Amino acid sequence: MTRPTPISGFPEWMPPQRMIEQYVLDRIRNTFELYGFAPLETRAVEPLDQLLRKGETSKEVYVLRRLQEAGEGGPGGAAADSADSDALGLHFDLTVPFARFVLENAGKLQFPFRRYQIQKVWRGERPQEGRYREFTQADIDVVDRDTLPFHYEAEMPLVVADALGGLPIPPIRIQVNNRKVCEGFYRGVGISDPEAALRAVDKLDKIGPDRVAQLLMETAGATEAQAKAVLALAEISAGDASFADAVRALGVENPLLDEGLDELVRVVETANEHAPGLLVADLKIARGLDYYTGTVYETQMRGYERFGSICSGGRYDNLASTGAERYPGVGISIGVTRMLGLLFGANALTISRPVPTCVLVAVPTEADRLACDRIARALRQRGIATEVAPAAVKYGKQIRYAERRGIPYVWFPGEPDTVKDIRSGEQMEAEASTWQPPAEDLRPVVKGAS
Q: Which residue numbers belong to the known binding site for L-histidine? A: 93-95, 123, 137, 141, 287, 291-292
Q: Least separation, in Å, of the C-beta of 20 and a second copy?
A: 10
Interaction between residue 80 and a second copy (CB under 8 A): yes
Shortest Cβ 397–a second copy spacing (Å): 14
Q: Which DSSP string do the residues of 136-191 spell out, in sequence order?
A: EEEEEEEE-SS---THHHHHHHHHHHHHHHTSSS--EEEEEEEHHHHHHHHHHHT-
Q: Which stretch binds a second copy (CB under 8 A): 117-125, 174-182, 208-216, 219-227?
A: 117-125
Q: Which of residues 338-377 bind a second copy (CB under 8 A)?
A: 354-357, 369-370, 373, 377
Give the count of alpha carbons within 13 A of 295, CB side only.
32
Task: Give 174's strand partners.
Answer: 279, 299
d(CA 80, CA 59): 15
| CA 239 distance to own-chain centroid | 24
Least Å distance, CB 231 to a second copy, is 33
Q: Within positions 194 to 253, which residues make up the interface with a second copy, using CB under 8 A?
A: none
Does residue 100 contact residue 46 with C-beta atoms inside 8 Å?
yes
Using the contact rule CB under 8 A, the part of the chain among 56-64, 200-208, 248-256, 433-441 near a second copy is 56-64
Q: Please, which of residues 275-314 interact with a second copy by CB under 8 A?
A: none
Does residue 60 touch a second copy according to CB under 8 A? yes
Q: Which position among 108, 206, 251, 394 is part of the footprint of a second copy (CB under 8 A)?
A: 108
Give the shortest CB-158-to-a second copy separation in angstroms: 8
Regarding 420 and contact with a second copy (CB under 8 A), the answer is no
Quick one: which of 27, 45, 203, 395 contacts a second copy (CB under 8 A)? 45
Q: Least Å distance between CB 183 and a second copy?
A: 23
Minimum separation from the CB atom of position 24 to a second copy (A)? 12
Report the distance separating Cα 379 and Cα 293, nearest Å: 55
Q: Does 8 bind a second copy (CB under 8 A)?
A: no
Contacting residue, 93, 298, 387, 441, with a second copy by CB under 8 A? 387
**Which residue type, as a one-letter code, is found at position 222?**
A
> Would you count residue 77 as binding a second copy (CB under 8 A)?
yes
Task: Quote the least distance from Cβ 21 to a second copy, whole Å.
Answer: 8
Q: Which is nearer to a second copy, 232 or 385 (CB)?
A: 385
**Start-to-end CA span in the chain (Å):** 42
Beta bridge partners of 296: 177, 314
Q: Quick check: 390 binds a second copy (CB under 8 A)?
A: yes
Binding mask 147-186 for a second copy (x = CB under 8 A): --x-x------x---x------------------------
**Amino acid identity for residue 432 in this structure:** A
Q: What is the smallest separation between the CB atom of 19 and a second copy, expressed in angstroms?
A: 6
The residue from 27, 35, 202, 238 that contacts a second copy (CB under 8 A) is 35
Residue 300 or 386 having the CB closest to a second copy: 386
CA gap 407, 420 in Å, rounded: 11
315: phi then psi, degrees, rounded to nearest 5 = -95, 135
Q: Which of 255, 288, 383, 414 binds a second copy (CB under 8 A)?
A: 383
Stretch that binds a second copy, among 8-16, 213-221, 287-295, 340-348 (CB under 8 A): 8-16
Indicate the pairing of strand 349-351 with strand 359-361.
Answer: unpaired
Report the distance separating Cα 231 and Cα 186, nearest Å.
11
Which helix or strand (DSSP H or E) is residue 448 part of?
strand 446-448
Stretch that binds a second copy, among 31-39, 206-214, 237-245, 290-298 (CB under 8 A): 31-39
- Using CB atoms within 10 Å of the CB of residue 440, give its burial: 0 to 12 exposed, 13 to 18 middle, 19+ buried: exposed
For residue 386, state whether it binds a second copy (rule: CB under 8 A): yes
User: How many angstroms from the chain centroid is the CA of residue 179?
Assistant: 23
Rule CB under 8 A: is residue 39 a binding residue for a second copy? yes
**Binding site per annotation, positions:** 93-95, 123, 137, 141, 287, 291-292
> Contact with a second copy (CB under 8 A): which of 128, 242, 322, 436?
322
- For residue 322, CA distances in Å to 52, 82, 266, 325, 361 come to 17, 23, 31, 5, 61
User: Of these, 27, 127, 131, 134, which contacts a second copy (CB under 8 A)?
Assistant: 134
Q: Which is nearer to a second copy, 67 or 450 (CB)?
A: 67
The type of residue at 221 is G
Q: What are phi and psi of 43, to 5 degrees?
A: -55, 160
User: DSSP string of 348-413?
Assistant: -EEES-SSS--EEE--SSGGGHHHHHHHHHHHHHTT--EEE-SS---HHHHHHHHHHHT--EEEE-
Min dist CB 164 to a second copy, Å, is 15
